[in-house]
Chain A
Amino acid sequence: GAVVSQHPSWVICKSGTSVKIECRSLDFQATTMFWYRQFPKQSLMLMATSNEGSKATYEQGVEKDKFLINHASLTLSTLTVTSAHPEDSSFYICSARARTDGHEQYFGPGTRLTVT
């Protein structure tokens, strides 16, 4: 149980275009989903916290107009990187917290984004 999927697993896009990444909890309802970014050989940095049916809360320094987050249901959150630039190239990982579980976060497999 507690499986989280992400799609796509990797994507290459041209500079200036937008990319959407999906995060799904497959066998549980997630009240909260988190989006992280991880640059090579670095730690996971929280970008935003997303609660179903409400606006996402962004961490300091993360542009909410560039990284659009939608949490439309208890099993799906999406991250859209708008007007992508090469410096947005990174590993994006989501996690989900189960409705009935107090604290453990279940991580998705990540999405490798490369902007050319």
Chain B
Amino acid sequence: GENVEQHPSTLSVQEGDSAVIKCTYSDSASNYFPWYKQELGKRPQLIIDIRSNVGEKKDQRIAVTLNKTAKHFSLHITETQPEDSAVYFCAASIIQGAQKLVFGQGTRLTINP
């Protein structure tokens, strides 16, 4: 089955700097890669997603890149703000299949003012 590895587990950056979180996946059939932000005790919130027919997607300060050949994808947050502090999870699934999401281990991002 699918296995998703995420790193780093913790990341601390100065406000205004950029943050990058990376994930690798094992199943080449996976074709949908969402990123979630989770605050303590809250539900995961989808912040951006990418499908395998696209190499990059951007939404304001957030961007995701996908390298299908290497089976890895990354989340980029620019101009970080204190409210970006949270735990971020990557995930992978197969759209046409059972559509089960396999999550990475999570990255605790702290933005230092």
**CB distance A110 to B43 under 8 Å?**
yes
Residues of B within 8 A of A97 (CB): 99
Q: What are 25 A-B pairs at a CB distance below 8 A?
A: A34-B100, A34-B101, A42-B106, A43-B89, A43-B104, A43-B105, A44-B44, A44-B101, A46-B101, A49-B100, A57-B98, A93-B43, A93-B44, A97-B99, A102-B95, A103-B95, A103-B99, A104-B49, A107-B44, A107-B45, A109-B43, A110-B41, A110-B42, A110-B43, A112-B41
A89 CB within 8 Å of chain B: no
> What's the tally of chain B residues with a CB closer than 8 Å to chain A?
21
Overall SS of chain A's interface = strand
B47 at interface by CB-CB < 8 Å:
no
CB contact list, B54-113 vs A, under 8 A: 89, 93, 95, 98-106
Q: Which residues of A contact B93 (CB under 8 A)?
A: 103
For chain A, residues 35 to 85, give those with C-beta under 8 angstroms from any C-beta of chain B: 42-46, 49, 57
Chain A positions near chain B (C-beta within 8 angstroms): 32, 34, 42-46, 49, 57, 91, 93, 95, 97, 102-105, 107-110, 112
Residues from chain A with Cβ under 8 Å of B98 in the complex: 49, 57
